[in-house]
Amino acid sequence: MKKIIALGILALSIAGTASAQVKPEDQIRYRQAGYSFMSWNMGKIKGSLEGQYNDQQVQAAANAIAAIAGSGMSVLYGPGTEKNIGNIKTRVKPEFFDPANAQDVGKIATEFNAAATSLAKAAAEGDKAAVQKAFGETGAGCKACHDKYRAD
């Protein structure tokens, strides 16, 4: 768990220098793009788990999810991104930005990253049972954040 938290802090520090130039509306766009693209790839893995297992497709999809999850998206929640900006809508709840929840948000993000990394590892090893388990954990990570911090 210490290692996971350290990774989370590392991810934040990796990302820390990058966002200054990105406008708030673009931060919202980019974070939504990341989640949307992960969603497509989760769908492909789901299809493979429920139908005929396509090893290479699962690997490619899991790599995309893990790499997006590990790309330092926390910087895309900068000041000004807590509400709609013109046509750019966001469903993030104010609670997400409450410093009292920072630790909880960080924990969810770190566990999500860890699950996505496990998913990519299981996929690379072609271990369908492990993929199934890590897929469930990754999906649970999505849901944990949506349930608490995303408006319907």
The residues, any chain, with a CB within 8 Å of residue 70's CB and separated by 6 or more, are: 11, 113, 116, 117
Give the Cα separation of 50 and 106 in Å (integer): 32
Determine if 22 is a binding residue for its own copies (CB under 8 A): yes
Output the smallest distance, CB 100 to its own copies, in A: 28
Choose the stretch contacting its own copies; rule: CB under 8 A; options: 31-39, 77-85, 121-129, 138-146.
31-39
Of 5, 56, 102, 125, which lies in the binding site for its own copies, with binding defined by CB under 8 A? 56
Determine if 122 is a binding residue for its own copies (CB under 8 A): no
**Residue 1 exposure: Cα atoms within 13 Å on the Cβ side:** 3
DSSP state of 91: -
Output the smallest distance, CB 99 to its own copies, in A: 25
